Amino acid sequence: MSSTVVKTADLPESFLEVHPHNLYLYCKAYAANLRANSAHTKNRSAVSGGGKKPFSQKGGGRARQGSIRAPQFRGGGVVFGPTNAKNYKQKVNKKQKRLALMHAIAEKVANERVFLVDSISIESGKTKDAYALFKSFGVRDALFVKELIDDNTYRAFRNLQDAYLIEPNELNGYLAAAYHAIVIEKSVWENLIKES
């Protein structure tokens, strides 16, 4: 399969004028939105036990205590611990998403790591054929962008550790920046350039 390396001269001026901070903000938001937010501790009202007053209020010479499940006791509740009520979501507007993708692509193009191919298709559905295609580009790992993923091509790529196959609507700044190279179909590339 023949491939063409995209040069910086082939990119529209708009791709080269994007500030890198847009990509930073998008990647930061992307990672924050992936957080599971599952850290949770119990406060003194949620810990079981401690219904009875530990000892008399007066006469023992000790500080008064109302419950053995207060934070100062072993097995007591946690003060100001994490709860999964916290929201880590960060919003990124459409324009900034677009700018982040443009900058990520411009970075890859500057390093000659964007390859245009006529078609990404593995009709046999075999992983070894998909691996052979991936190795032909001589890169560490690659993001493959295909117009419409068919079953055989999906099956061939799904078990590859260093290659990830997506459709154009899944392409974003984070994925474009994360992979060492991008292999993209010419039709998808033309639409991407046209929309910018």
Q: What is the mean pLDDT of each run of 10 residues along the chain (196 residues)?
A: 80 91 96 91 92 92 93 94 88 94 94 93 94 94 95 95 95 95 94 82
Does residue 160 sit in the same domain as residue 110? yes
Number of domains comprising the chain: 2
CA torsion sign for 93, 95, 96, 102 is positive
Does residue 171 sit in the same domain as residue 104? yes
Does residue 128 sit in the same domain as residue 43? no
Does residue 152 sit in the same domain as residue 66? no
What is residue 1's predicted lDDT score, i.e. its pLDDT? 64
The identity of residue 5, as a single letter, is V
What is residue 188's predicted lDDT score, i.e. its pLDDT? 94
Domain that holds residue 93: 3-18+89-195
Does residue 63 sit in the same domain as residue 95? no
Does residue 72 sit in the same domain as residue 127? no
Does residue 189 sit in the same domain as residue 152? yes
Overall pTM > 0.85: no
82 close to 42: Cβ distance less than 8 angstroms: no
Does residue 83 sit in the same domain as residue 102? no
Does residue 60 sit in the same domain as residue 105? no
Q: Is residue 31 part of a domain?
A: no
